[in-house]
């Protein structure tokens, strides 16, 4: 007697089409060859190295090592400055050379500065405008946007500039890697706070006249990116503490 709800007919046997019957042995043979090749190439090791799988962890560890090395370099620089100052007090020639160096450190960005100026903040958009489909890249602060702001501030007479607390010097390059900023070997995320010590009115005028800044302002008003300019009576810009020598990759022998 058939059970209620279940057909009494025997289940139909599923069979491969004639062409597939001939293809199955070929597929199995190819798969076997691939397995054998992988085993030979790996020599018993993993083909996907654990280091590649944990690339994000490797990058974070490298950043921590760089930060630790930077802190050690700052400590050593302080010791060197103290020894140099001590030597200058007992040696006339050394004292004269130190005075010449001291005159160059402020314009070189090697001493902290305080004074009035501007604070410019650029930020990514939190979301796309309602009812509008846009390229996600349009919602990000780009390298060209930061460069336009920095160049306008320099042109307006800025004496010292820092981005997110990182001092800019002659060799500093503003580079964006994806949605982050790479500056002086450090990685920063938005919002990007640009502090500039100098004549506020002149720097504001240069910002307003810059075509690159104007384009960013238009994008900010349409896509919702953040852009503010504020006059500040007292700003602090730290000294540059990174390496002063340029490093280049060299071809091996």
Sheet containing strand 113-123, strands side by side: 166-167, 160-163, 192-197, 113-123, 226-237
Q: What is the pLDDT of residue 11?
A: 40
What are 119's two structure tokens?
A: 């604070």
Q: What is the pLDDT of residue 140?
A: 92
Cβ contacts of 51 within 8 Å, gap of 6 or more: 58
Q: Render each residue's pLDDT in the chain as its tens digit; 253 residues.
A: 333 333 343 343 444 455 555 555 655 665 666 665 655 554 555 444 454 446 667 777 777 787 787 778 778 777 777 776 676 666 677 667 766 666 666 677 888 999 999 999 999 998 877 777 788 888 999 999 999 999 999 999 999 999 999 999 988 989 988 889 999 888 899 999 999 999 999 999 999 999 999 999 999 998 999 999 999 999 999 999 887 776 666 776 6
Number of alpha carbons in the 13 Å side-chain half-sphere of residue 241 = 21
Q: Which is it for the CA torsion 131, 136, 138, 139, positive or negative? A: positive
Q: What is the pLDDT of residue 75?
A: 80
Q: What is the pLDDT of residue 121?
A: 97
Q: What architecture does CATH give domain 113-237?
A: 2-Layer Sandwich (3.30)
User: What phi and psi values does residue 228 have, to the nearest 5 degrees?
Assistant: -135, 145
Q: What is the pLDDT of residue 152?
A: 98
Q: What is the pLDDT of residue 12?
A: 38
CB atoms within 10 A of CB 112: 14
Q: What is the pLDDT of residue 211?
A: 97
Q: What is the pLDDT of residue 251?
A: 78
Cα–Cα distance, 68 to 175 (Å, whole number): 22
DSSP 8-74: -SPPPPP---HHHHHHHHHHHHHHHHHHHHHHHHHTTS-SS-HHHHTHHHHHHHHHHHHHHHHHHHH
User: What phi and psi values does residue 177 have, to the nearest 5 degrees?
Assistant: -115, 100
Q: What is the pLDDT of residue 151?
A: 97
The secondary structure of residue 138, as a DSSP letter, is G
């Amino acid at each position: 007697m058939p059970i209620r709800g279940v057909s009494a007919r025997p289940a139909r046997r599923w069979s491969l089409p004639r062409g597939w019957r001939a293809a199955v042995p070929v597929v199995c043979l190819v798969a076997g060859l691939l397995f054998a090749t992988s085993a030979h190439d790996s020599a018993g090791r993993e083909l996907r190295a654990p280091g590649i799988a944990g690339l994000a962890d490797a990058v974070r560890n490298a950043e921590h090592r760089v930060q630790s090395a930077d802190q050690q370099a700052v400590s050593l620089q302080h010791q060197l400055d103290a020894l140099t100052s001590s030597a200058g007090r007992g040696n006339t020639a050394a004292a004269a050379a130190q005075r010449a160096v001291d005159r160059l450190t402020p314009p070189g960005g090697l001493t902290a500065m305080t004074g009035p100026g501007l604070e410019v903040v650029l930020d990514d958009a939190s979301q796309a405008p309602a009812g509008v489909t846009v390229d996600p890249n349009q919602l990000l602060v780009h390298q060209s946007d930061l460069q336009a702001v920095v160049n306008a501030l320099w042109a307006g007479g800025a004496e010292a500039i820092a981005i997110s607390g990182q001092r800019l010097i002659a060799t500093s390059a503003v580079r964006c890697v994806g949605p982050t900023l790479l500056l002086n070997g450090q990685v920063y995320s938005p919002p990007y706070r640009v502090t500039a010590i100098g004549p506020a009115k002149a720097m504001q005028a240069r910002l307003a006249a810059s075509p690159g800044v104007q384009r960013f302002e238009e994008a900010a008003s349409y896509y919702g990116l953040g852009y503010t300019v504020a006059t500040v009576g007292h700003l602090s810009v730290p000294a540059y503490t990174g390496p002063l020598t340029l490093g280049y990759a060299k071809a091996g022998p």
